[in-house]
Chain A
Amino acid sequence: MMNNENRTISVLVDNEPGVLSRVTGLFSGRGFNIESLSVGETLDPTISRITLVTSGSPLIVEQIIKQLRKLINVIKVVDLTNTEFVEREMLLIKVRAEAASRAEVLRIVDIFRCKVVDASPHFYTVEVTGSESKIKAVLDLLAPLGIEEIVKTGKIAIARSRK
């Protein structure tokens, strides 16, 4: 069995102040890792979904899930890693776009089906959505042109519907 693999865990919680603090406090207090975290409301506005990516040995991951389930405000915990699921993260990249490189940026944007969401005389801001590997590929290609700043979301994930 692989050690310290990344696990994507989906946690349904009461949409109340302090709940995120309970979850993150649990991780820091028990020495668990958080690689990525994102939170948003579900269809039911009283419930939020936390998608978190964590890593650890299978025993640790089991403990993480059990400890999460112990929190009163945690309604459901699903380890998506064992199922078929779709995951996405989003990146905003402010990349240098001078006369010489403007076209090159747009070509890369086109290849990866990204979007230019802001343009100025010297910069384009590009929105990339996709898997971790796609985001890395875009970053690698844009890097030589001069990346000024990036902002990245945590991962979100959803189980695939049964065919």
Chain B
Amino acid sequence: MTTGKKTGSQLVVQGLIDEGVETIFGFPGGAVIPIYDVLYDAPVRHILTRHEQGAAHAADGYARATGRTGVCLATSGPGATNLVTGLSNAYMDSVPMVALTGQVAVPMIGNDSFQEADIYGITIPITKHNYLVKDINQLQRVIKEAFHIAKTGRPGPVLIDIPKDIQTFEVKARKIGEVRLPGYTPSTKGHPRQIEAIVRAIRNARRPVIYAGGGVIASGASAELKKFVRKSNIPITTTLMGKGAYPDGDPLSLGMPGMHGTKYSNYAIHEADLIMAMGVRFDDRVAGNVQKFAPLAKIIHIDIDPAEIGKRMAVDIPIVGDLKSILVMLNQKIETQTRKRWLERIDRLKEEYPLTYEKSGAVKPQFIIQTLSEMTKGQIIVSTDVGQHQMWAALFYQTTEPRRFLSSGGAGTMGYGFPAAIGAQVGQPDIPVVALCGDGSFQMCIQELATVRMYNIPVKIFIFNNGYLGMVRQWQEIFNDRRYSSTHLEFNPDFCKVAAGYEIPAFRVTQTAKVKPTIDKVLNMEGPVLVDFRVAPEENVIPMIPPGGGQTEFIGEGEDEE
């Protein structure tokens, strides 16, 4: 790096380049004009979204699809606060992101200046770490630290708030040494004694189950996990965040656990004598009731974040460290076991409680997802919004590789799917990307249609249009006596006409017979395309365990109620 005098904005952009950032997502405004001026002819691609929330989700989708740190940029005040949902979303799902925001000039801070918001204070609880840079001499160090923190340990979003005067001050650029953070030393190596304890527990277990989550993908441990599963013959359930960590459809795969998980995964957890939890956090959508979760099992918990261990679930064998390195060690030490009886039992559970849906009447959302899954063999990138279609996607779309299924897990952010697909497509231009959206969710970030058109980003948008906020409607049906309070979208726009307004080709599908030919046609089209699937309006996501329920307390299907 040259050591002449540079403005703060030049240092920011140079910092991005030094960190290997090729693409950022953002929206300009008064307090970031100096940064945008540098970006004007910098070797960093800037994707202009139509709303800062879209930029944040796109950076998130980019990060999930590529494994690299996503970057977004917004101005002060409303620009910055519009990033908040995206940051919270990335924080809940441990996605590495760096958000840059402009701030009013340092002497103006605290005066309720125009477009001032205390975004540093606002984002403390929803970022892994954040900065307000009030001294230009700290800027280079802060940028380097931010990328280091976002990517290492348990990944997460980091925000850097940069006052406008700092962006214009000039300073001599310095060489920045290694990051030195005495308060931040994530442990990576698992403790050898705990490794031995795990190996013994596996050897003695009769009915072990692996419960794997987003940590496997964050750690890049899928290959090691596959090796581990093959060698140990332990059936594996993968969470929404862990989808793709192990191939769906594999004989040892149990699919998703929890509230809307497969029945056989939940029964397997219930009957297990050993649970190997890997990169998961026993969240309430998986373990609705920790007292009833795996009552017969010894619990092993592997995670890089010590605070996750014992947070919700009492653990018998905890081990803190990087999952990949721990799995490498385990793979060297475990013995091959056939587990014939347990795997027979698993097969029987799968036969007894198959994942299915009623194939009659209107176009079934499950059918659309199943068809897409079969046609693409799970080889494309799929992003989802939040709600019923998300759960159907989790259940019926068979993901075979990590970083190919992007979904808002912890935060449950409606409106995530479409902008995340944009980010994913920008980061992975050679892999087809389909955004699976609800009609409710899609309207939360519908403005990004302009973004895909402007850059000709070939995302395919599938809207599961049932005219309802379907998941809430389902809860109202079950728990509130069918009082559909404000969940019926009595007016929806004509999505095809909306697409036409953005000069995006669109199709409407109202018959089951048209599902496959339309998907086939759309996947072979260039550029963005929208499909408005008119699906069965009151279809429910089944299986279902009510909130707070144990793994076998299914509801909503008459014959199975206990």
Q: Which positions in A face B, CB cutoff 8 Å?
A: 13-14, 17-18, 21-22, 25-26, 29, 59, 62-63, 66-67, 69-76
What residues of chain B lie closer than 8 Å to A72, measured between beta carbons? 128-129, 149, 181, 183-184
Quick one: which of B122-176 are within 8 Å of A by CB?
A: 124-125, 128-129, 132, 149
Judge whether B182 is part of the interface by a CB distance below 8 angstroms: yes
In angstroms, Cα B127 to Cα A26, docked, is 12
Starting from the known contacts A59-B310, A74-B183, 16 additional A-B residue pairs (CB-CB under 8 Å) come to A14-B183, A21-B121, A22-B124, A62-B310, A63-B307, A63-B311, A66-B306, A66-B311, A70-B305, A72-B129, A72-B181, A72-B183, A72-B184, A73-B183, A75-B183, A76-B183
What residues of chain A lie closer than 8 Å to B305, measured between beta carbons? 70
What residues of chain A lie closer than 8 Å to B129, measured between beta carbons? 72
The smallest C-beta distance from A57 to any residue of chain B, in angstroms, reads: 12
What residues of chain A lie closer than 8 Å to B125, measured between beta carbons? 25-26, 29
The smallest C-beta distance from B299 to any residue of chain A, in angstroms, reads: 15
Given the contacts A69-B306, A72-B149, A18 and B124 also touching, CB distance less than 8 Å: yes
Judge whether B120 is part of the interface by a CB distance below 8 angstroms: yes
Among A59, A66, A72, the one with the most B-chain Cβ atoms within 10 Å of its Cβ is A72
25 contacts between A and B (CB under 8 A): A14-B183, A18-B120, A18-B121, A18-B124, A18-B132, A21-B121, A21-B124, A22-B124, A25-B124, A25-B125, A26-B125, A59-B310, A62-B310, A63-B310, A66-B306, A66-B307, A67-B307, A69-B307, A70-B307, A72-B129, A72-B149, A72-B181, A72-B183, A75-B182, A76-B183
In angstroms, Cα B307 to Cα A26, docked, is 13
List the 8 closest pairs (A to B, CB-CB), nearest first: A66-B307, A75-B183, A72-B129, A72-B184, A29-B125, A75-B182, A74-B183, A25-B124
In angstroms, Cα B149 to Cα A73, docked, is 12
In angstroms, Cα B306 to Cα A63, docked, is 9
Smallest CB-CB separation from B314: which chain A residue?
A: A59
What residues of chain B lie closer than 8 Å to A66, measured between beta carbons? 306-307, 311
What residues of chain B lie closer than 8 Å to A13, measured between beta carbons? 183
Quick one: which of B28-43 are within 8 Å of A by CB?
A: none
In angstroms, Cα B306 to Cα A71, docked, is 12
Smallest CB-CB separation from B156: which chain A residue?
A: A70
The smallest C-beta distance from A29 to any residue of chain B, in angstroms, reads: 5
In angstroms, Cα B123 to Cα A7, docked, is 29
Interface size class of B (residues with CB under 8 A): 10 to 19
The A contact surface, by secondary structure, is: helix
Quick one: which of B519-562 are within 8 Å of A by CB?
A: none
The smallest C-beta distance from B121 to any residue of chain A, in angstroms, reads: 7
The smallest C-beta distance from B408 to any residue of chain A, in angstroms, reads: 20
What residues of chain B lie closer than 8 Å to A18, measured between beta carbons? 120-121, 124, 132
The smallest C-beta distance from B146 to any residue of chain A, in angstroms, reads: 10
In angstroms, Cα B153 to Cα A70, docked, is 10
What residues of chain B lie closer than 8 Å to A63, measured between beta carbons? 307, 310-311
What residues of chain B lie closer than 8 Å to A69, measured between beta carbons? 306-307
What residues of chain B lie closer than 8 Å to A71, measured between beta carbons? 183
Smallest CB-CB separation from B154: which chain A residue?
A: A70
In angstroms, Cα B184 to Cα A71, docked, is 8
Smallest CB-CB separation from B307: which chain A residue?
A: A66
What residues of chain A lie closer than 8 Å to B182, measured between beta carbons? 75
In angstroms, Cα B121 to Cα A69, docked, is 20
In angstroms, Cα B308 to Cα A62, docked, is 11
In angstroms, Cα B123 to Cα A21, docked, is 11
What residues of chain A lie closer than 8 Å to B307, measured between beta carbons? 63, 66-67, 69-70
What residues of chain B lie closer than 8 Å to A67, measured between beta carbons? 307
The smallest C-beta distance from A17 to any residue of chain B, in angstroms, reads: 8
Smallest CB-CB separation from B186: which chain A residue?
A: A70
Smallest CB-CB separation from A62: which chain B residue?
A: B310
Smallest CB-CB separation from A29: which chain B residue?
A: B125
What residues of chain A lie closer than 8 Å to B181, measured between beta carbons? 72
The smallest C-beta distance from A18 to any residue of chain B, in angstroms, reads: 7
What residues of chain A lie closer than 8 Å to B128, measured between beta carbons? 72
What residues of chain B lie closer than 8 Å to A73, measured between beta carbons? 183
What residues of chain B lie closer than 8 Å to A21, measured between beta carbons? 121, 124
In angstroms, Cα B128 to Cα A26, docked, is 12
What residues of chain A lie closer than 8 Å to B132, measured between beta carbons? 17-18
Smallest CB-CB separation from A67: which chain B residue?
A: B307
In angstroms, Cα B307 to Cα A31, docked, is 15
In angstroms, Cα B23 to Cα A31, docked, is 39
Smallest CB-CB separation from B158: which chain A residue?
A: A72
The smallest C-beta distance from A92 to any residue of chain B, in angstroms, reads: 31
In angstroms, Cα B183 to Cα A13, docked, is 8
What residues of chain B lie closer than 8 Å to A22, measured between beta carbons? 124
In angstroms, Cα B215 to Cα A156, docked, is 39
In angstroms, Cα B121 to Cα A62, docked, is 26
Could you give, for residues 38-79 of chain B, a 1 whenever the CB lies within 8 Å of some chain A CB and a 0 otherwise? 000000000000000000000000000000000000000000
Could you give, for residues 309-343 of chain B, a 1 whenever the CB lies within 8 Å of some chain A CB and a 0 otherwise? 01100000000000000000000000000000000
Could you give, for residues 178-214 of chain B, a 1 whenever the CB lies within 8 Å of some chain A CB and a 0 otherwise? 0001111000000000000000000000000000000
In angstroms, Cα B311 to Cα A63, docked, is 7
In angstroms, Cα B120 to Cα A69, docked, is 20
The smallest C-beta distance from A3 to any residue of chain B, in angstroms, reads: 16
In angstroms, Cα B311 to Cα A14, docked, is 26
What residues of chain A lie closer than 8 Å to B184, measured between beta carbons? 72
The smallest C-beta distance from B179 to any residue of chain A, in angstroms, reads: 11
What residues of chain A lie closer than 8 Å to B121, measured between beta carbons? 18, 21
The smallest C-beta distance from A100 to any residue of chain B, in angstroms, reads: 51
Smallest CB-CB separation from A75: which chain B residue?
A: B183
What residues of chain A lie closer than 8 Å to B311, measured between beta carbons? 63, 66
Could you give, for residues 77-100 of chain B, a 1 whenever the CB lies within 8 Å of some chain A CB and a 0 otherwise? 000000000000000000000000
Quick one: which of B104-131 are within 8 Å of A by CB?
A: 120-121, 124-125, 128-129
In angstroms, Cα B149 to Cα A70, docked, is 11
In angstroms, Cα B185 to Cα A76, docked, is 11
In angstroms, Cα B307 to Cα A63, docked, is 6
What residues of chain B lie closer than 8 Å to A75, measured between beta carbons? 182-183
